[in-house]
Structure 1
Amino acid sequence: MSSKIAEAEQHIKAAEDSLKTGLLKMRRSPDYDSAADEYAKAAAAFRAAREFKRSQQMLVKTADITANHLKNLFHAAKHLETAALLAKEVKNYEEAAEWLAKAGRMLRENGNPDSASLMLEKGAKMLEEPLPEASARLYSDSADAADIEDKVGQAAQCLGHACRMLIRAGKLDAAADVARRRVGQAGRDSNPDTLSKAVLALVVVELGRGDLVAARKAFNDSVHVSSFQTGDDCGPLQTLLEACEQMDGDRGRQALQNPVFRYMDNEFAKLARSIRLPEARQKPSAAGGAAAEAAGAGAEDAEEFDGGLC
């Protein structure tokens, strides 16, 4: 391993020499091609020695030269993607997220939105457990890239994943914003189930954050679409919304037992179970009812004679 580290340091020295100019070097401008190549070789040697942090640093240097001086954004993005994978190995998830986002921007700028979307989605998946909020941002960026290529189904799916991550992170307001974007994307997709599932998720998120008005609006804005009206989700959603509006906790709890809610993705299903419903109304027993009736009658009699006999 020490030999690999020594090899890496030789490549670093060669890269630094390539960037120097002057009469003694017989060079008026830096040799960026050679420098990028040497830094990349140093990164590979450090990686072989399992010096992942130093390998990341070399990859970032390589990406910087490749993007800013060689104007090759595609290869620069690939170097940053590799750096992000190494950052994940040493549990430096924040840097991994930063480099993946930057790589995605480079690919889009280079005219490769499809590659950007796939890379960002893969990176978002990698960060779901350790950093759900950053994962949501990458999923959202992936959706934006997919939308450039008019891949509306893929964009809606990525926004669904982003919403799921924001729910996990406890960011319900942000989740609602993303869920609304997802409905907008889904409305452009030819698959009717895409819209149905998007509206279902949005209504659950709005109810989960306690905004019944927004939940009803989300439903009403899509209920005129025939594919949604005839889908499996429309009826159970209507029942749940009516129960909430009528403060009928029993009916609401019964509605949430529908498989439509129970078999949603885990984060959405948990949020659905957390929707606050009115407590069940207590039904008086027969004896209790008679006593209450007698008490009511007594109260009426008392009111009748309240002013005395005169």
Structure 2
Amino acid sequence: MKDILKRLFNHEELTREEACNLLQNITRGCYSDIQIASLLTVFQMRGIKVDELIGFRDALLSTRLPVDLSAYQPIDIVGTGGDGKNTFNISTCACFIVAGAGYHVAKHGNYGATSISGASNVMEAHGVKFTNDPDKLIRSMEECNMVYMHAPLFNPAMRSVAPVRKALQIRTIFNLLGPLVNPCLPAYQLLGVADLQQMRLYTNTLQKLSIGFAVVNSLDGYDEISLTNEFKVMTNHYETIYYPERLGLQIASQEALSGGNTPEEASRIFDDVLTNQATQAQTDCVIINAAFAIQAINPMMPIETCIGTARETLESGKALATFRKFIELNS
């Protein structure tokens, strides 16, 4: 670790293999908490490179509880978190629209860290029992196109660094790794990031991993398409800035997307969207994120067509029916 820290202090880069070995040694308890804290701090100060991020991902995936859903070619819809906006569960809600439209979704999530309600909070509020049983997950995918994987059940190696992360109380490389370690290795990903620097990092990473993707960022700092401002999208095929009004959508206020002050409030907003009782801002925000997820799977499909598909799936009740079937299977 001493040699590695010296190299990093000198702005040298680790290879993918070196990064993998380093994180594997961390999870095996080879280093002290002080050494680990120093390592995490230096990466925060100088930034992480693509091969280093992929190497760390390799290490975490090597210790995961694997789930083979490759036959379904699923998509994961996830944000990095940490944008400080406390929005309602937009990505999770979008999952049920995408699943309701007939696509397979494998959502990987956890309890909220920087917001009132994370994906696992809203799932638990509806009676979902988390599982890592492959048979139950496959049945859920078969019968409603959707599975939910509660991260702690699949990534035990993360526990080894939990005390250091808690003591530091700052974002670290592990926040960047969260969206990349879905245990089923999804074929597609809609990934929301909070800034353009992260956008470039993830785009280069996902390209190198040969994943079909759309990385999105609202230019006012949301790690999802918020419709509060113009937003940028980068995919395997294009890079562009969109203006909500040019897609026939209204600009939303930040207050309109608030997740409330309690998990119960966030859960009610989630239900309102799926039952077509939400505000236009809440509904349109979920629809546009679902639309870009659909386009990530079908890159030649015009985004206007994807928006129409997402809206029809919500307004027809297909998304709600998918959610209710999911609850029935997973409670």
Do both proteins adopt the same fold according to a TM-score greater than 0.5, normalized to the shorter chain? Answer: no
TM-score (norm 2): 0.31
Structure number with higher relative contact order (C-alpha < 8 Å, ≥ 6 residues apart): 2
Q: Which has the larger radius of gyration?
A: 1
TM-score (norm 1): 0.33
